[in-house]
Structure formats: structure tokens, C-alpha cells
């Protein structure tokens, strides 16, 4: 410890470490401890061993939320990254007024989850929403986007993907720009078609970045909260309640902080399982000396 | 043959433009729709067929002032929180990024690991134990709670951005200044900082957008006085008497305009920042 304190640069990182310790790390550890108690806000803390976990794991609503969360993450990440790849390939072709198009494609990135929910709640409105207007004028008919239990999850995913896609676009687009030109020249000299170029040149060169984007988006979408809460609050009939909303309900509706902490700990364990290799790898690459 | 090729090229071009217009409609259409609708009279909003032509009005903005005084104070709160977060962020992350870029040692590598690991913690989990603590020290429902939380959660991104920019500034410049008798702080302020300016703008744009738009922590940690604009907008959406869309559109437009301007003006910095800070070496 003493050696670390005397280390060069300790003073420079200390304030930041202190803040992160106090606001993120210690609360996270405390939450893990709380998950072994039966703490409710305002009540004394009594240790109960694994009791809270048993309650959580016996709650069918938890399992429903977990299942929906899985469906949500898989659909959302594949749409975001797949769509993001297509859009970035399109933008990479280059257009007149390129800067304008890029800015307009990135625009959802600048929108708050609450505002995104407001916009789409209107667009998907049953009686006056433009989406239903289009659907009914092409003969599909009006759909109860936000009221139908099975459609609601789809709606929530649409909104989430709309908001999150620019992130993948930005990263993949700048990765494409950074690819070496010579490889393409060589490929086209050898008579490769543009699809072959994509399949055998672009995709392999892009795959490390793609992998990182996928992992990153897995972590982030796994904890999706704001969009869904502002749009449906987990309804109708809890059909859009993901794990984070379940946690919020336990914690800030029933003030059952032990339950909420147990769910949170399970979420953390899942996140770490998905990403442990990625953390190890990026740490190694950045600090291998 | 060449004529055929020319025609084919043209066709491809047309298809590409078609795709581009579709993509832009998908991403920007909804935003444009809300901005335009905020200038419509309610009779033009609530139509079965959307109306393209209408007389613009600021009626909805008047309604917003009259019906939702909360919203105006929340815009002020959001501004305060955004500025506060940017300032605290700059103070904390510039020195740390400098250390990470220029120095080696245990403290540095632990910081690096730390900054990667904290990204794994789901924010909502942390809000559970923080809530009683912040209530106890009377931070709940103050802008300070949000400034501290936003900085702590976004610091990992900004430090990586700044570090990446610093890595691109040759060390020799500072060393020359040191040899000439310049102190380390002066060398940083007068030689490194001007070269780092684009990096600071990148990190600033990303931090400001995050703090301006954040919803989850604001929902948990502010309830009456310190509510931010996104929280008030979400309240407007859940009005029991049915949503008043006119004021909602007006509020949404006012909230998203500054962010859109930032995206437009700072596009280059934003792209660079996300690429460096998010995910890539």
C-alpha cells in the first residue's frame, strides 16, 4: 500500500479513485452485502443468509423478467449491430452533403430516453399515431402497439434500437474509414466483386471492432431501463418488465432493498460472466508492459 | 458496353440514395415530426390523417408555460447539472488521464483496471445502496447528487478519450520545456493543454450529452426541487388525465434542441470521442 501511495502519479489519480470508490465501488459492495439480509428502507438490517435469493428465485415474476430480458438483449443487439453495420457501409460509400447525412443519422444519440419515449409513444399511439395511420392506409389495419401484451415488448425494442443504433454506426463507420485502402486496391486488381470485397476483406478486418461493439452493447442493453420505464413502466401486465425494472419495483416501489440488491447481484454476476474475458483481454492489451 | 455500364452505375447510385433517404427518415424523421408538431395547433395535431400544411403557432409553448411551471425550473436544473458535471469531470479526469498516458507504476495500472471494471456495474444496482446514504447526508433532490453520480459513472469514458489524445502528443515537447526550467504544471497548462484541446472538446461533448439526457439516476435521486427536464417530460407522459401532446411536444423540442445543435456543431469531436473512449484501442 505504502509503495502505491508513493508511486509516481498517485496524486494525479487519487481524487478520481476516491470519487469512484465512494460513488460506485463501495455502494456496489454494500449492495452485495445487503442481498444477504432482509433490509427494507427504514428497518434494521438482519442477516438472513441466502433467504433473499431463495425468495427471488422462487418468484415467477423474476423468471419472466429474466426470460424477457434475454429475448430483449438478443433481438436488440443483433438489430443494432446488424443495422448499424448496414448503415455504416452505406454511409461509407460517400454522398454529397455527407456531413449533414451523418449528423441526421446520429441524431437519436442526442435524444434523452425520456424524450425518445415521448416521441414514440405518440408515433405508436393507437388512434392518432402516424404509424397506425400508415398501416391502416396500406390495409394492414391499426395495431395496439403499447396495449397488447405481446406487441408492447416489440414496441419497446423498436424504440430502444432506434435510440441505440447510432452508437454502432459511429464506431463501425470510423472503423471503416480507418481501414487500409491498399487492401481494396489489391482485391479489385485481382478482380474481386464488391460482395467478395466485403466478405473476404472488410468483414475479417472489421471483426475485432464488431466483437467489441457486440460485447459493449450486450452489457448496456442488458441493463436497459430508462426507455422502457418512460414508455410503459413495465406494463401492460408486467409484459415489458425487464430485470432492471423488476429491481426498481422491488427497491423503489416496495422499498425492499434486500430483494433489489439480490436481483442486482445476480445481474452483476451475469454481466461479469459475459464479459470477464473481454475485461481481462482489454486490460492485458492496455497495460502489458 | 460502356453505355450499359454507365446506366448500371446510375441505377446503383439511385438505389443507394434511396437507401440513404430511408435511413435518414428512420433516424431523423421522428425527431423532425415532434419539432414540427410542437408548432401546430391541437386541432392540427389530433387529426386522423397527419397534416403537412398548417399555420405555425407558439400556442403549445404558452400552454407549457401555463400548465407546467415545473418544466422551466427543470431546464435550469438540467443546465446546472450539465455544467457542474463537465467542470468536476475536467478537474478529475485531466490529471488522471495525464498520469495514465505518461507514467507507469502500480497506482497507474490499478487505476486502469478500476476504470474498466466499473463499467460492468449496472447503474441501477448502485442506486439502491446509495439512496439511503444520500438521504442521510441530505444529497437527495439536490443537483449535487446527480453531478457526483454522473461524474463517477462517465469518468471511465472521458479518461480513455483524454488518454488516447495525450498518447498522440509527443512527450519530448514537455521534456524540452522542463529542461528550460518550466515547472510541470506550467508545462502542462501552456504546452500540453492547447494541443489537448480537441480531446477536451470530445470528452466535453460526450459528458455534456450524457448529463443533459440522463434519465434513470435523475428519476431515482430527484423528486421535487432538483428534477431535471427528462424527469418532468416522463411525468407529463404519465398524466392520469391523458397525455396533453401539445405541451409534451413543446417540452421535448426545447429539451432536444441544444443536444441536436451539439451533434451538428461537434460531430467530428463526438465521433472521435465515442470511437476512442468507448471501445477501441
Contacts of A110 in chain B (CB under 8 A): 209, 213, 256, 259-260, 262-263
Whole-number Å distance between alpha carbons of A138 and B46: 20
Residue A37 β-bridge partners: A47
Lowest mean pLDDT among A57-71, A135-149, B134-148, B223-237: A135-149
Q: Are A108 and A166 in contact (CB under 8 A)?
A: yes
Residue B6 has pLDDT above 80, yes or no: yes
Confirm whether A193 is domain-assigned: yes
Q: How far is B200 from chain A (nearest CA, A)?
A: 17
Q: Pull the grid cell for residue B262.
A: 451539439
In terms of residue numbers, what domain contains A137?
35-287
Q: How far is A31 from chain B (nearest CA, A)?
A: 6
Over residues A104-127, mean pLDDT: 91
Distances (CA, A) of B186 to A63, B16, B177, B190: 58, 52, 9, 6
Q: Pull the grid cell for residue A268.
A: 452483476
- The CATH number of whichever domain residue A74 belongs to comes to 1.10.3720.10
**Looking at residue A45, what DSSP letter applies?**
P
Please provide the average confidence, as pLDDT, over all residues in chain A: 87
- Residue A206: pLDDT band (50, 70, 90) is confident
Confirm whether A242 is domain-assigned: yes
Contacts of A166 in chain B (CB under 8 A): 27
Residue A282 has pLDDT above 70, yes or no: no
Contacts of A96 (CB under 8 A, 6+ apart): none
Contacts of A195 in chain B (CB under 8 A): none
Whole-number Å distance between alpha carbons of A217 and A138: 35
Confirm whether A230 is domain-assigned: yes
Confirm whether A11 is domain-assigned: no
**Looking at residue B56, what DSSP letter applies?**
-
Q: What is the pLDDT of residue B48?
A: 64
Whole-number Å distance between alpha carbons of A85 and B61: 39
pLDDT in tens, B77-136: 999 999 999 999 999 999 999 998 888 888 888 888 888 888 888 888 888 889 888 888
User: Is there a contact between A261 and B26 if contact means CB atoms under 8 Å apart?
Assistant: no
Q: Are B229 and B251 in contact (CB under 8 A)?
A: yes
- Residue B281: pLDDT band (50, 70, 90) is very low
The proportion of chain B whose per-residue pLDDT surpasses 70, expressed as a percent, equals 96
Q: How many separate domains does chain A show?
A: 1
| Torsions phi, psi for A37 (to 5 deg) | -115, -170
CA angle B66, B71, B75 (to 5 degrees): 135
Residue A277 has pLDDT above 80, yes or no: no
Helix, strand or coil for residue A37?
Answer: strand
Confirm whether A22 is domain-assigned: no
pLDDT in tens, B135-159: 888 889 999 999 999 999 999 889 9
For chain B, positions 122-141, list CB contacts with chain A under 8 A.
122-133
Q: Give pTM, 2 decimals.
A: 0.90
A123: nearest CA in chain B?
Answer: B30
B16: nearest CA in chain A?
Answer: A90
- Residue A108: pLDDT band (50, 70, 90) is very high
Confirm whether A2 is domain-assigned: no
Q: What is the pLDDT of residue B280?
A: 41
- Residue B242: pLDDT band (50, 70, 90) is confident
Residue of higher predicted confidence among A275 and B81: B81
Q: What is the pLDDT of residue A160?
A: 95
CA angle B253, B255, B260 (to 5 degrees): 80
Q: What is the pLDDT of residue A289?
A: 45
CA angle B162, B168, B169 (to 5 degrees): 95
Contacts of B254 in chain A (CB under 8 A): none
Q: Are A205 and A183 in contact (CB under 8 A)?
A: yes
Q: Are B115 and B155 in contact (CB under 8 A)?
A: yes
Alpha helices in chain B (DSSP H): 2-37, 42-45, 59-67, 69-102, 106-117, 123-136, 143-167, 171-179, 184-187, 193-213, 216-221, 229-237, 245-265, 267-274
pLDDT in tens, A257-268: 999 999 999 999
**Looking at residue A108, what DSSP letter applies?**
G
CA angle B74, B76, B81 (to 5 degrees): 90
- Interchain contact B272–A (C-beta under 8 A): yes
Confirm whether A41 is domain-assigned: yes
Confirm whether A3 is domain-assigned: no
Residue A82 has pLDDT above 90, yes or no: yes
Amino acid at each position: 500500500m505504502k509503495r502505491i501511495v508513493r508511486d509516481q502519479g498517485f496524486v494525479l489519480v487519487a481524487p478520481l479513485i476516491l470519487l469512484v470508490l465512494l460513488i460506485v465501488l463501495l455502494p456496489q459492495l454494500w449492495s452485495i452485502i445487503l442481498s444477504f439480509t432482509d433490509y427494507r428502507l427504514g428497518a434494521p438490517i438482519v442477516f438472513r443468509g441466502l433467504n433473499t435469493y431463495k425468495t427471488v428465485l422462487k418468484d415467477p415474476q423474476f423468471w419472466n423478467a429474466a426470460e424477457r430480458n434475454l429475448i430483449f438483449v438478443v433481438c436488440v443487439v443483433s438489430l443494432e449491430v446488424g443495422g448499424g453495420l448496414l448503415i455504416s457501409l452505406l454511409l461509407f460509400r460517400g454522398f454529397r452533403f455527407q456531413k449533414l447525412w451523418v449528423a441526421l443519422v446520429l441524431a437519436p444519440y442526442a435524444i434523452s430516453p425520456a424524450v425518445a419515449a415521448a416521441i414514440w409513444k405518440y408515433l405508436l399511439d393507437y388512434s392518432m399515431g402516424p404509424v397506425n395511420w400508415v398501416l391502416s392506409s396500406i390495409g394492414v389495419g391499426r395495431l395496439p402497439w403499447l396495449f397488447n401484451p405481446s406487441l408492447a415488448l416489440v414496441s419497446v425494442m423498436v424504440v430502444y434500437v432506434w435510440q441505440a443504433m447510432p452508437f454502432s454506426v459511429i464506431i463501425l463507420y470510423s472503423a471503416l474509414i480507418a481501414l487500409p485502402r491498399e487492401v481494396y486496391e489489391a482485391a479489385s486488381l485481382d478482380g474481386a466483386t464488391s460482395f467478395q470485397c466485403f466478405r473476404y476483406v472488410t468483414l475479417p478486418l472489421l471483426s475485432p471492432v464488431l466483437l467489441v461493439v457486440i460485447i459493449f452493447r450486450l452489457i448496456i442493453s442488458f441493463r436497459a431501463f430508462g426507455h422502457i420505464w418512460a414508455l410503459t413502466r413495465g406494463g401492460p401486465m408486467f409484459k415489458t418488465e425487464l430485470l432492471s425494472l423488476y429491481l426498481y419495483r422491488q427497491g423503489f416501489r416496495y422499498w425492499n432493498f434486500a430483494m433489489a440488491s439480490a436481483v442486482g447481484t445476480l445481474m452483476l454476476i451475469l454481466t461479469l460472466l459475459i464479459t470477464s474475458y473481454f475485461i481481462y483481454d482489454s486490460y492485458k492489451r492496455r497495460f502489458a508492459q | 458496353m460502356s453505355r450499359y455500364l454507365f446506366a448500371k452505375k446510375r441505377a446503383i447510385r439511385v438505389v443507394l440514395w434511396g437507401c440513404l433517404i430511408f435511413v435518414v427518415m428512420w433516424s431523423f424523421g421522428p425527431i423532425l415530426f415532434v419539432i414540427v408538431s410542437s408548432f401546430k395547433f391541437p386541432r392540427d395535431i389530433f387529426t386522423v390523417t397527419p397534416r403537412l400544411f398548417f399555420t405555425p403557432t407558439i400556442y403549445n409553448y404558452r400552454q407549457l408555460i401555463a400548465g407546467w411551471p415545473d418544466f422551466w425550473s427543470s431546464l435550469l436544473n438540467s443546465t446546472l447539472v450539465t455544467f457542474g458535471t463537465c467542470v468536476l469531470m475536467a478537474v478529475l479526469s485531466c490529471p488522471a488521464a495525464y498520469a495514465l498516458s505518461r507514467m507507469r507504476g502500480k497506482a497507474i495500472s490499478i487505476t486502469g483496471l478500476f476504470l474498466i471494471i466499473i463499467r460492468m456495474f449496472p447503474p441501477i444496482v448502485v442506486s439502491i445502496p446509495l439512496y439511503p446514504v444520500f438521504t442521510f447526508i441530505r444529497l437527495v433532490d439536490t443537483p449535487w447528487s446527480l453531478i457526483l453520480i454522473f461524474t463517477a459513472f462517465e469518468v471511465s469514458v472521458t479518461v480513455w478519450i483524454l488518454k488516447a489524445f495525450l498518447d498522440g502528443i509527443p512527450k519530448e515537447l514537455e521534456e524540452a520545456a522542463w529542461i528550460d526550467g518550466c515547472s510541470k504544471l506550467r508545462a502542462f497548462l501552456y504546452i500540453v493543454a492547447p494541443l489537448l484541446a480537441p480531446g477536451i472538446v470530445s470528452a466535453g461533448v460526450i459528458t455534456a450529452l450524457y448529463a443533459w439526457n440522463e434519465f434513470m439516476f435523475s428519476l431515482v435521486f430527484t423528486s421535487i426541487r432538483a428534477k431535471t427536464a427528462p424527469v418532468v417530460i416522463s411525468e407529463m407522459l404519465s398524466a392520469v388525465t391523458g397525455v396533453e401532446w401539445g405541451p409534451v411536444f413543446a417540452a421535448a423540442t426545447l429539451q432536444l434542441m441544444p443536444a441536436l445543435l451539439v451533434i451538428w456543431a461537434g460531430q467530428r469531436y463526438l465521433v472521435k470521442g465515442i470511437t476512442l473512449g468507448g471501445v477501441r484501442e
